[in-house]
Structure 1
C-alpha cells in the first residue's frame, strides 16, 4: 500500500507538471463572474500563466466561447440579465467539448440564486467549487443558513454532501475525493480568493481536461501555497493580496514539491 509520503510526492509532481503546462500553453479562460472578483481573478490567471477574458455579454457568447479553452461561471453578483449568458456559455462549452467550472456563490441565500445554480448544475459542469454551505445547499436543493458569501460550515463538514452532489451531477466537487490543505486563515479576509481559485481550476482543467480531479486538487493547493509564501512577507490582508499574486507568479518546483499538502480522503 502506498505510503502517505509517497502519495503527497505524487500529488506534488502532478501539480508541478500541470502548472508547467499552464505556463507553456497560456490557455484562454473565459470568466463570467461577479463585479467584486473580476480584478483578482484576472490577475490570478495572468500570474499563473493563463490568459483571462472577462466576457459576459450574451451577444458575444456565440462568437467568443467556442474559442476559449475553458469557462468559469461565478454567480456572485447574479442578476436576471446575466443568467441567460451563463447558460448559453455553459451550453456552448459542453457542445464544443470545453471544460467548465461553476462557483455557486451563496447558493442557499435566496430562491432565485438556488434555482439558478441548480439549473447550471444540470448543464453538467466539469467541476463545482464552493464552500461548505454552498455545497450543502446544492446537495439538498434547499435554502440554508447564510452569511452572504461566507460559510457556516467548514469544508470538511461538507464531505458527504460533496460526494452526493458529485454523484448526482457527474462533476468533480473539490472535497469529494481529495483534501488540499494548503492555505491560511487570513486568505479569508481578502475578498474573492475563493473566486480566484475557481478561475485557477478552470485554467488547470483547460490544459488537462481528461484529469479534472488532479487539476482541481492541484489548483487548490497551488493557490494555497502562494498564500503561505505571501504571508511570510505580508503585514495584513491588503499586503497579502499583493504578495499572493507575486508568489504565484514566482512559484518554482522546489517550493511546490516541499509544501504540497494533498491527501486522499
Structure 2
C-alpha cells in the first residue's frame, strides 16, 4: 500500500496544478493572507468568502469548502452553516478545522453544530481531536498539550462516529477514516512557530480533496505529505520562523510530483 499511496501523492499534486480547484476558505483574520498564498503556491485558487449573504451561494460554485473557527463570531458562524449546507447539497467536499473548540461554551456549541453537518475531513491538533471525540485533553487555547500518538485512538473513534476522515497533525501526522490509517513524517520544528501554518494546511487539504472527492482519505494523506516535504526542504534554508514563513511559500511553489513522491515519508498505521 505504501508505495502506491506515495506515488499517488505526486500524481495528485501534478493534477492539482493542471486543474486548479476553486477552494472557498472560511478562515480566521490571522490566517487569511498566509493561507491564500499557500494555496496559490500549491496551484489552487483560494476564495476567502465568509459573509452569510453569499457563503452558501458561493459554496455551490466552489470545488471544496474549508471552515476554520479560529476567530469565531455569530455572523461568521452563519456563513459557515450556509456554506457547509450548500456543499452537502451540491455534493462538494468540505473540511472542518475546529480551532480551540473546547475553550469556551460558544466555541463548543459552534463545533458541535458544524460537526452535525457532516464534514468530509476534520483536521486538528491532538488536543482538539481528543476533545472533539469526547476524551479528556490537555489543550490550552489554540495550543495542543497532547501528543499525536495519544490522540490516535480518539481519531479512530471520531472517524467512525462521523464517517469523516480525521487528520491529527503534529510532529508525525496521523490520518484515518476509521478503517485505514497512515502516519506522515517530516516537516520542521519551525512550523508551529509560524502563525497560520495549520490554518493554511487545512486549506491545502481542501484543495487536494477537491481534485479527488471520491477518495478523501488518500487525498488528505497527499496534502499532509506535500506540506511535510515542503517543510523539510524549507528548514534547511531558514534561520528561524521569520525566514521559514516566506521561504515555505517559495519551496511549495517549486515542489513537483516527482520530488514529492521521492521524499514523502508515509507509512501505514
Q: TM-score, normalised by structure 2?
A: 0.93
- 2:241 aligned residue: 237
- 1:223 aligned residue: 227
What SS is found at the alignment partner of 2:215? helix
The aligned runs of 1:125-136 (5 Å cut-off) are 125-136=119-130
Structure 2: 5+ residue stretches without partners: 168-173
Contact kept in structure 1, 2:201 and 2:224, CA below 8 Å: yes
Contact kept in structure 2, 1:106 and 1:148, CA below 8 Å: yes
Match of 2:106 among 102, 109, 112: 112
1:150 aligns with 2:146: no
Contact kept in structure 2, 1:8 and 1:260, CA below 8 Å: no
Residues 235-257 of structure 1 show CA distances to partners (whole Å, capped at 9, x for unaligned) of: 11011111111111001234212
Residues 38-58 of structure 1 show CA distances to partners (whole Å, capped at 9, x for unaligned) of: 111100100000000000001
- 1:3 aligned residue: none
| Structure showing the higher helix proportion among its residues | 1
The aligned runs of 1:24-43 (5 Å cut-off) are 24-43=18-37
Structure 2 CA distance for aligned equivalents of residues 135 and 241 of structure 1: 26
- 2:163 aligned residue: 170
Q: CA deviation at 1:141?
A: 7.2
Contact kept in structure 2, 1:74 and 1:102, CA below 8 Å: yes
Q: CA deviation at 1:146?
A: 3.1
What SS is found at the alignment partner of 2:124? coil
Contact kept in structure 1, 2:209 and 2:219, CA below 8 Å: yes
What SS is found at the alignment partner of 1:72? strand
1:45 aligns with 2:45: no
How many equivalent pairs are there? 258
Contact kept in structure 1, 2:64 and 2:210, CA below 8 Å: yes
Structure 1 CA distance for aligned equivalents of residues 113 and 222 of structure 2: 27
Deviates more, 1:92-101 or 1:103-112: 103-112
Match of 1:185 among 177, 184, 189: 189
Q: CA deviation at 1:180?
A: 1.2
Q: TM-score, normalised by structure 1?
A: 0.94
- 1:160 aligned residue: 153
Q: CA deviation at 1:182?
A: 2.2
Structure 1 stretches (4+) deviating beyond 6 angstroms? none
Structure 2 CA distance for aligned equivalents of residues 135 and 36 of structure 1: 22
Q: CA deviation at 1:130?
A: 0.4
Match of 2:199 among 195, 201, 219: 195
